[in-house]
Amino acid sequence: MNQQPTVPPAPPPLSGAPPEGPGAGAMGAAAGGGPQPAGPPAARRTAWSEGVRRLRTAATTEPGRLRAIGAALVALVLLFGAVSAWQVSDRVAAADAVVDHSQPLSADAAHIYRSLADADTSASSGFLAGGDEPRSERRRYEKDIREASELLAEAAAASGGSPTAERQIAVLNRGLPVYTGLVESARADNRQGLPLGGAYLRYANEKMRGELLPAARKLYTAETEQLGGDYTDAESWPLLGLGTGVLALAALGWAQRRNYRRTNRVFDRGLLGATAAVLALLVWLGAGHALARSGLNESDTKGARSLQALNEAWIGTLQARGDENMTLVARGGGAAYEKSYRKQMAAVAGTGGERRTEGGLLGEARRVADDSSGGDAVRDAQRAVRTWQERHRQARAEDDGGNYEDAVARVIGAEDSTRESFDAADASLGRAAAHEQRQFEEAAAAGRGRFGGLLVGALLLAVLGAVGTVLGIGRRLAEYR
């Protein structure tokens, strides 16, 4: 009987080898030896989320709350100091601009206008004297032109990029040499007795009145507006700094009240010192600015505004004098100049139907003068102008009666002439302007000085307040250790 060969059983799988055959997976799984399905990996916390979690946990404890309150108080106190220093710095810069930049530029622009108008007056006065031009008139003319040129150079360097100022300075720099050339041609022809000299002088006068003086007026207006803007910036209240200070003071008060309610301790020396520092800065900021504002306002009302009124009156007298001279230069054809003279004199003295205010520009200058020194000088100018008007009527009567030489003598003569009255008014106005300039400089410097130390004081007191806050909160935290 035949037997089949016996097949030996398969060896067991090596350790770690997967079982083979159907059901092997199930068997392996049942036996617990097969691979288990991997579950989702545990989420890892980021540094930010972990930090937030710890802060939330710490905020539920009293030490954590104290740390948060302390950090907020320190930030608020330092913010108060920084905002105060920033706003004080802006106002100090504006006050410096008023004293050192915009007011001097406004005064220089007015001086340019007066120099040009006076040069035109001196040129016409010298022309009326004929070939024997007085040396005093010539020197005065040359001085006016030199001063105008020098001030234009200074204004160009200090205009600060103002488009209006730069345009007007360019117009004046181009036109002034043309004007002086026309005047020299008029003088040369006049010395030779040529009638063409009068035409050259009228052309020069038209150049001055139609181009140079309007440009000088616009320059003066632009610089005066800049002065007003600087005054506004310097005098504006530091509302943001004051508001931040009140907020910091309220927060410190709340924190001390909270500590009292939780610990029954009346005083926390650190927080009390911080409160004192913040209160001192708040009072200093408000009081110092109020005093600075008062000083700057005084410099405006007692100096800058008085100077502006005087400049308007002074310019009016110069233009009236030029019109008076040109009326005679035109020799019978000066009706337009005479009309302009009456208009200017009505504005200056406040007479006639064209007056601007009661008493005219001189009356306004006298009203805004803050003391007797300035007021008396303006009063002297008013008396001189009244005498000038009377003498002008006499000169016009001589000219209208055909006595041209007598009319010229009444206008440019050494005694009892309109020239004498004009010079008296001019000198009085110059004296009043010098007094008001001194008044401005003293009041403006005093107002600016009120800001002294406030910038550094704001930063120092803020740091002291922050240190006091840290010490005060730290003392409470030490009780939990």
pLDDT digits (tens, 9 = 90+) for 298-348: 888 777 888 888 988 999 999 999 999 999 988 878 889 999 999 999 999
Predicted confidence (pLDDT) per residue in 443-472, tens digit: 888 888 888 888 899 999 999 999 999 888
The whole-angstrom distance between residue 395's C-alpha and the CA centroid of its chain comes to 48
Q: 6 Cβ partners below 8 Å, 6+ apart?
A: none
Whether pLDDT at 97 is above 80: yes
Whether pLDDT at 25 is above 70: no
- Report the 10 Å Cβ neighbour count for 118: 24
Tokens of 1: 């009987």
The stretch 143-164 carries a mean pLDDT of 87
* CA–CA gap between residue 95 and residue 444 (Å, rounded): 8
Predicted confidence (pLDDT) per residue in 100-136, tens digit: 888 888 889 999 999 999 999 999 988 888 767 788 8
* CA–CA gap between residue 449 and residue 455 (Å, rounded): 12
Whether pLDDT at 284 is above 90: yes
- Distances 283 to 111, 249, 287, 447, 468 between C-alpha atoms, Å: 42, 12, 6, 18, 19
- Report the 10 Å Cβ neighbour count for 337: 22
* CA–CA gap between residue 210 and residue 163 (Å, rounded): 21
Sole residue written with tokens 């006499």: 394
* pTM for this entry: 0.75
Sole residue written with tokens 């009390």: 272
Average pLDDT, the chain: 84
Q: Which of 149-163, 186-200, 273-287, 401-415 has the highest mean pLDDT?
A: 273-287
